[in-house]
Amino acid sequence: MKAFVTGASGFIGSNLVDRLLAEGHSVVGYDNLTTGQVQFLAGARGWSTFRMIKGDLLDTATLHQAMEGSEIVFHLAANADVRFGTQHPRKDLEQNTIATYNVLEAMRANGVKRIAFSSTGSVYGEPEIFPTPENAPFPVQTSLYGASKIAGESLIAAYCVGFGFTGHVFRFVSILGERYTHGHVFDFYRQLNADPTRIRVLGNGTQRKSYLYVQDCIDAILTVVGRDSAGVEIYNLGADEYCNVNQSLGWICEALNVDPQREYTGGDRGWIGDSPFIFLDTAKIRTLGWTNKLTIHQGVLKTLDYLRANPWVFEQRSVS
């Protein structure tokens, strides 16, 4: 297939691009390179079936032109900075909500009718049911990021009904693995690398989260996209387990052979709007035969391996 990947030089996007190319598909990557890294596409550039376009999703003329001839859009580009949403509310509106609208309109202009979309478990707000299924009670949003992702999901669903699109919406837990350049493992490793004797932990360390290894995440996406379907389908993606921040920190310290003094910022949330417990019910995607191959512990170790082998990622502009 002829795939168009937004956020192609990001963490998940670049891993997806590599997989699509390896499986024989042609790929047009689209990225504004504000948080993505050109180095992530070093391998992809070796394929004649890959073309990279530097462009912003708010630049609709470039976007419309770039998408010409594509058959499916993997819309992964987003402002993924959940934590600092209240410092720049416009970012989530523009880079997530309006950007998704622009992608859908570019699809309409180009006759592309199939979209896979990276949403988030954050759309469940603070759910009361764990693990949380896709049809959990109508949630109340607690973050600008979650609000912008539910706006994106809803636009896609409406385009499926109104314009005959096919939509694959994936609600991710936090993703781990190679090219991971934000989040708690990144933050902990960076701190311990600078000073192995102490570590600052947001919240009280008891926040429970589920994680998924990036290749497992891509397996799941490709499992769904490879099937015949119509209209919009929504899938939770995650491991069938969770861990708390202290456990994860324990694994990291063990792997690095350090025993830092832990300093907690306090409270049961890492930041305002942080959900203290994210654990998604993934029974639906598992009925398609998908399963995660790596545990959370293994995913954390893979991430550490990558960060240790790639110190350059800490020198780039990145979001923690």
Residues near a copy of itself (CB under 8 A) are 85-86, 89-90, 93, 97-98, 101, 104-105, 124-125, 134-144, 146-148, 150-151, 153-155, 157-159, 161-163, 232, 234, 272-273
Q: Which of 30, 101, 124, 145 is catalytic?
A: 145
Backbone dihedral angles phi then psi of residue 313, each to the nearest 5 degrees: -65, -20
Residues 6+ apart with CB under 8 A from 71: 1, 2, 3, 112, 114
**Shorter beta-carbon distance to a copy of itself: residue 9 or 236:** 236
Q: Tell me whether residue 38 or residue 157 sits nearer to a copy of itself (CB atom).
A: 157
Distance of alpha carbon 203 from alpha carbon 145, whole angstroms = 19
DSSP class per residue in 193-251: HH-TTEEEESTTS--EE-EEEHHHHHHHHHHHHTS---EEEEEEE--S--EEHHHHHHH
| DSSP annotation of 92 | I
Closest approach, Cβ 283 to a copy of itself, in A, equals: 15
Please identify, using beta-carbon distances, which residue of 67 and 185 lies nearer to a copy of itself. 67
The secondary structure of 266-306, three-state, reads: CCCCCCCCCCCEECECCHHHHCCCCCCCCCHHHHHHHHHHH
Closest separation in Å from C-beta 204 to a copy of itself: 19
Cα–Cα distance for residue pair 112/67, rounded to 1 Å:
8
By C-beta, is 33 or 109 nearer to a copy of itself? 109
CB of 192 to a copy of itself, least distance (A): 30
C-alpha neighbours within 13 Å on the C-beta side of residue 27? 31
What's the closest the beta carbon of residue 104 comes to a copy of itself, in angstroms?
8
Task: Find the shortest distance in angstroms from Cβ 165 to a copy of itself.
Answer: 11
Angstrom distances, CA of residue 188 to CA of 196, 199, 233, 262, 301: 10, 7, 36, 11, 13
Helix axes of 11-22 and 214-225: crossing angle, nearest 10 degrees = 60
Closest approach of Cβ 117 to a copy of itself, in Å? 13
Shortest separation between residue 154's beta carbon and a copy of itself, angstroms: 4
Closer residue to a copy of itself in complex, CB, 12/144: 144
Query: Cβ(155)–Cβ(165) under 8 Å?
Result: no
Between 61 and 194, CB nearer to a copy of itself: 61
Rounded CA-CA distance 160/189 in Å is 42
C-beta closer to a copy of itself: residue 86 or 320: 86
The residue length of the chain stands at: 320
Give backbone dihedrals phi and psi of 235, rounded to 5 degrees, phi first: -130, 130
- 124 as an active site residue: the answer is no
Which positions are catalytic? 145
